[in-house]
Amino acid sequence: MKKSIIPSLALAALLLAPAATSAGQDDRVERLRERAEFRREMRDLTRERFRARADVRRERMRLKNEFRWHTRDTYRGVHEHYFHAYRDTVREALRETRRALREAFRDRR
């Protein structure tokens, strides 16, 4: 009985050893595929995050510029109004001064 068990175990080992090795390689290939897929997903997530950040950055810059333009336009409107009012007041004062000087010198003649 011992003589028949040893050759049958040797034969089984010869037949099962390549199957076990190929099964191990299949597991390795599967692990490599899973790793590659995981890396691909991570790369895609990174790209999406980068695009989202770029969109946020663009929107922030757009709002910042819009605020600047609005502030600049408002300042110009207020500044121009103030400037025109100041200029008109100075002109009116100069007219009054000229009128007063004319009257003063008219009386001298």
Give me the pLDDT at residue 65, please.
Answer: 93
Give me the pLDDT at residue 5, please.
Answer: 77
Dihedral sign from CA coordinates of 22, 27, 32, 37: positive
**Cα 12 from Cα 19, distance rounded (Å):** 11
Tens of each residue's pLDDT in the chain, 109 residues: 556 777 777 777 777 766 666 656 678 888 999 999 999 999 999 999 999 999 999 999 999 999 999 888 887 777 777 788 888 999 999 999 999 998 888 876 6
Tokens at residue 27, please? Answer: 């597991």
Residue with tokens 């390795």: 28
